[in-house]
Amino acid sequence: MGIERLSIAHSKWRFGVVTVSVGAATMSKGEHAHAGHHELFAAADRALYRAKNGGRNRVVVTTAQSGPAS
C-alpha cells in the first residue's frame, strides 16, 4: 500500500514505519435515510475494526444498514 512504501519512520513503534488501516461506510440517501448518522458512524467504526483485525494496511468499506447494529 502507498503509505507503507513512503517508509515514514515511527521511532516509538516496533514495526518501524507508519501504516494505515481504514474503515468507511456509505449510506443511500433514500433507502437508509431513516437510519441516521449514528448508524453510518457505527458501520464505519465496525469496518475500521475489521480492517485492523485483518492486518496492517487494510481498507474495508461497508454499507450502513437500516436496522440497529448487531
Domain count, the chain: 1
42 within domain boundaries: yes
29 within domain boundaries: yes
Check pLDDT > 50 for residue 23.
yes
Q: Which residue(s) pair with 9 in the sheet?
A: 17
17 within domain boundaries: yes
Q: What is the pLDDT of residue 50?
A: 95
Which residues span the domain enclosing 36? 2-63
52 within domain boundaries: yes
Rounded-to-integer distance, Cα 8 and Cα 18, Å: 6
Q: What is the pLDDT of residue 66?
A: 57
| The total number of residues written for the chain in this structure | 70
35 within domain boundaries: yes
Confidence band for 8, pLDDT divided at 50, 70 and 90: confident
Sign of CA dihedral 17, 19, 57, 49: positive
pTM of this structure: 0.69
Question: Would you state the cell numbers that stand for residue 27, as one nine-digit string?
Answer: 449510506
68 within domain boundaries: no
70 within domain boundaries: no
CB count, 10 Å around CB of 23?
Answer: 19
Check pLDDT > 60 for residue 42.
yes
